[in-house]
Amino acid sequence: MPRADQLPAFDTEISEAPSTTNPLGMRGGSEGGITARLAAVANAIVDALAEFGVEHIELPATPERVWNAMRAAHRNDAEGREGGWVS
């Protein structure tokens, strides 16, 4: 893994584009970086529920959606999984 002292020097600049829809001219910060986080959260939930047969969850992952995904996966599992939970 490279360290900061192993990278070439580079210049940064700020490009400001005030919002025309906000009275203060402000825009939300870092929306671009949030997209990957949502996928990571969804994958973490699916990983945590894998033992129940859950392979997909829609966001927002409300308690009701999680419970319904678990019940649907349980119903779709023809052999039944060992896990000790009751629908």
Identify the pLDDT of residue 16. 77
Q: What's the predicted TM-score (pTM) here?
A: 0.52
Query: pLDDT tens digits, residue range 18-31?
Result: 888 888 887 776 65
Residue 58 near residue 65 (C-beta atoms within 8 A): yes
Residue 74 near residue 81 (C-beta atoms within 8 A): yes
From residue 83, give the alpha-carbon distance in Å to each of 42, 50, 53: 22, 11, 10
Query: pLDDT tens digits, residue range 23-79?
Result: 888 777 665 566 778 889 999 999 999 999 999 999 999 999 999 999 999 888 755
